[in-house]
A and B are shown apart, each in its own frame.
Chain A
Amino acid sequence: MTVTGFFLRDDVFLDYVYIIAFSLFILGLMFMTSPRTARRGNMVAAVGMAIAVADTLLRHGIHKWGLIILGLAIGTAVGVPAARSVKMTAMPQMVALFNGVGGGAVALISWAEYRHFGNSLGSKHLIPTLFAAIIGSISFWGSNIAFGKLQELIPGRPIMLPGRLQTVLNAALLTVAVVLAVLIASGTHSNLMFFLILVAAAILGNAIVLPIGGADMPVVISLLNAFTGLSAAAAGIALDNIAMIVAGMLVGASGSILTNLMAEAMNRSIPAIVAGGFGGGGAAIAAAEDAEERTARSTTADDVAIQLSYANRVVIVPGYGMAVAQAQHAVRELTKLLETNGVDVAYAIHPVAGRMPGHMNVLLAEADVPYDQLKEMDDINPVFPQVDVALVIGANDVTNPAARDVPDSPIYGMPILDVDKAHSVIVLKRSMNTGFAGIDNPLFYKENTSMLFGDAKESIQHVTEEVKQL
C-alpha cells in the first residue's frame, strides 16, 4: 500500500489533523497566560476550532447536510449578535449562558445516541454516554439558573428548602440518576429510564444552583465550566473522538483550578458553596445590629472633590456598582485630573470584585487605566493606613469589615480590602441596600466614612466638575 493510500483510508489523515487542532488549543491557552499575547492566544484556539470542525465535516459518512447547515446557521444567527451586543457588565451571565448551551449539547447528543443505538453501544461507549448525559444536563440547567440570577430574572438570594430537606433532595436526585444509569449500563434497555436520568439531572442542576447566593455565582459558573468540559471529554470517549477528549479535559482541568482559586479568594470551601444557603443570614444580623441605631453620614460632590484634591494618596476601590453604571471612563477621567494635580492614585482590585475574577481589570483596561496602577489585595492592604482617601465605587461585600471582625457574619473569613483603615472613606452607592450577598455593611456607619448616594457615573462626573473648579 502506498503512503497516500494509508493516509486516505478510513479518514486516518483526518485523525492526524485533529492532533494539529488540539495542539492549537494548548498553544492558544499558553498564549493566554500573558496579557500581551492573550488575544493572539484566543485567535489561535479559534483557528484550532475551525480546523477541528472542517476536519469533522470532511469525514466519510457525514451527511444530512441540510440539517447540519440548519443547525450551524441557527447557532451563528443566535451566537454572533449575542456576543457582539452584550455589554461588558453582562459578561459573566453571557459566559454562564454559553457554558450552559455547551452542556445542553452534550446531553442532547448522548440522548440521541442512546435512542438510536440503545445497549448495542457496548459498555465502553455506554458508560461515558451516561456520564456525559448526567453531567451535561446538570451543567445546562445549573448554568441557566446562574444566568437568571446574574441577569436578575430570579432573585439572587438563596432559594432553598428548609433545614436538611435540600440536602436530602439533592442526594435523592443524584441517587436516582446514578441508580438508573447503573441499571442501563448493566444491560436494561429503556428509553424511558434514560429520559428519567436526564430529568433527574435537570432537577438536580436547578436544585444545586438555586440555593446558592449571588455572591458565590462566579465560583459556580467556574465549576459548571469544568463540568461541561468533563462531559465533553466523556462524550469524546463515547464517540471515539480525540479532539473532544483533549479539548474537553483541558477545560475540565482549567475549570477546576479556577474554581479552587476563586473559592480560596473567598475563603470558602467548594463543598460549602455547593451546600448552599450562603448570604441568607444577612437579614437576621442586620436586624440585630439595627438595635444599635447607627446612622450613615451622607456627603456632597463638592465635599468629595475637596477631600480628593487635598489628599496625597487616594485609592479607588471599584466594584459591581461601577460596572453597572458604566462609570469606568468617568473614573479614569477623574483620576487623570487628580494625577495632574499631584495626587497619588491607585486602584485596589479585590480578586472577586464585580461578579467574576478579573472583571474589574477588564473594565478598567477598557478605560485605558495603566496596568501598574491596579493593585492586588495583598499588595494594597498593608498600605491602607497611609491612605488619605479610599473612594469606594459600588463595591460592598469585598470591603465589609464584618468578614474580618464579626464571627457570626455569613461572610466571616472572606479576605477583604481593609478600606476602613484609611483616614477617610467615601462610598459611592445607589442606596443603603445591601450588596449582592445580602449582608449589611458596618463600614457605612463608621465615623470616618461618608456616603455619596446616586448613580456612580453621575456622581463621579459631578465630583470631576467640582475638582476642576477648585
Chain B
Amino acid sequence: MSLVTEIAILVLAAFVGFAVISKIPNTLHTPLMSGTNAIHGIVLLGGLIAISEVSGAFNDFILVIAIAFGTINVVGGFLVTDRMLEMFKKRPTPQAEASEDGAGKPEDES
C-alpha cells in the first residue's frame, strides 16, 4: 500500500476518533479509557506479523515477549472494561441520563 493511502487512512481515522469520542459523557470516561486501552492491544497483530518475518533466536525471544504483552493488553483490557461496565448495567432504574431538574430532588426509589 502506498504511503499516501496510509496517511489518508490515518488522518480519517483521527477525525472519526474525535467525532465519535467527543460525545462520551463524563461518567463513562474511566471505562472509555480502559476500552480504548484494550483497542490499542491491536499491536498484538504487529507481534504476530513480525515474528513470522524475522529470524534469529534473540529476535524470536523479544517478539514472544511482545506477543505476550499484546495479549495482556487485549485480554486484560477488554475484561477489565467489561467488569466496570457490568456495574452500570445492573442499575435497577433505567434512567440513564442525569437529570437537569435541580440538584437533588427527593427520589422515591426503593
Give residues in A with beta carbon < 8 Å to B.
Answer: 25-26, 28-30, 32-36, 38-39, 41-43, 45-46, 49, 52-53, 56-57, 59, 61-64, 67-68, 70-72, 74-76, 78-80, 82-84, 86, 88, 91-92, 94-95, 98-99, 101-102, 104-106, 108-109, 111-113, 115-117, 124, 221-222, 225, 228-229, 231-233, 235-237, 239-255, 257-258, 261-262, 313, 315, 336, 339-340, 342, 344-346, 351, 356-359, 361-362, 365-366, 368, 370-376, 379-380, 382-383
Inter-chain contact A374/B27, CB cutoff 8 Å: yes
Chain A residue nearest to B31 in the complex (CB)? A38
The count of A-to-B residue pairs whose CB atoms sit within 8 angstroms is: 411
Interface string of B79-110 (1 = CB under 8 A from A): 11111111111111111111110111111111
Chain B residue nearest to A367 in the complex (CB)? B87
Inter-chain contact B29/A108, CB cutoff 8 Å: no
| Known contacts A78-B68, A245-B6, A344-B104, A257 near B21 by CB under 8 Å | yes
Inter-chain contact B110/A101, CB cutoff 8 Å: no
Determine how close the nearest CB of chain A comes to the CB of B35; give it in whole angstroms. 5
Inter-chain contact A246/B43, CB cutoff 8 Å: no
What 16 additional pairs, Cβ within 8 angstroms, besides A33-B25, A249-B10, A383-B103? A26-B20, A29-B21, A42-B85, A71-B47, A79-B74, A83-B79, A94-B76, A102-B40, A102-B41, A237-B6, A240-B6, A247-B40, A254-B20, A339-B107, A346-B103, A379-B103
Inter-chain contact A102/B70, CB cutoff 8 Å: yes
Q: 9 interchain pairs (CB within 8 A)? A: A32-B35, A53-B44, A53-B48, A61-B52, A221-B33, A229-B39, A240-B1, A345-B104, A380-B104
Inter-chain contact B46/A116, CB cutoff 8 Å: no
Chain A residue nearest to B19 in the complex (CB)? A253
Residues of A within 8 A of B83 (CB): 83-84, 88
Inter-chain contact A95/B37, CB cutoff 8 Å: yes
- Residue from B20, B42, B51 within 8 A of A244 (CB atoms): B42
Q: Lowest 4 CB-CB distances: which A-B pairs, in order?
A: A75-B71, A253-B17, A71-B67, A346-B104
Inter-chain contact B42/A370, CB cutoff 8 Å: no
Inter-chain contact B26/A71, CB cutoff 8 Å: no
- Where chain A touches its partner, the secondary structure class is helix
Instruction: Give the size of the chain B interface in residues (CB under 8 angstroms).
Output: 100
Bound together, the chains give a CA A365 to CA B99 distance in angstroms of 16
Bound together, the chains give a CA A248 to CA B98 distance in angstroms of 32
Determine how close the nearest CB of chain B comes to the CB of A95; give it in whole angstroms. 5
Bound together, the chains give a CA A376 to CA B29 distance in angstroms of 14
Inter-chain contact B91/A371, CB cutoff 8 Å: yes
Inter-chain contact A101/B46, CB cutoff 8 Å: no
Chain B residue nearest to A49 in the complex (CB)? B74
Residues of A within 8 A of B35 (CB): 28-29, 32, 41-42, 45
Inter-chain contact B40/A370, CB cutoff 8 Å: no
Of B10, B41, B56, B95, most A-chain CB atoms within 10 Å: B41
Residues of A within 8 A of B42 (CB): 49, 52, 232, 236, 243-244, 247-248
Inter-chain contact A83/B27, CB cutoff 8 Å: no
Residues of B within 8 A of A88 (CB): 83-84, 87
Inter-chain contact B28/A375, CB cutoff 8 Å: no
- Residue from B28, B39, B99, B100 within 8 A of A49 (CB atoms): B39
Inter-chain contact A71/B29, CB cutoff 8 Å: no
Residues of B within 8 A of A376 (CB): 26, 98
Chain B residue nearest to A57 in the complex (CB)? B48
- Residue from B10, B39, B53, B62 within 8 A of A111 (CB atoms): B62
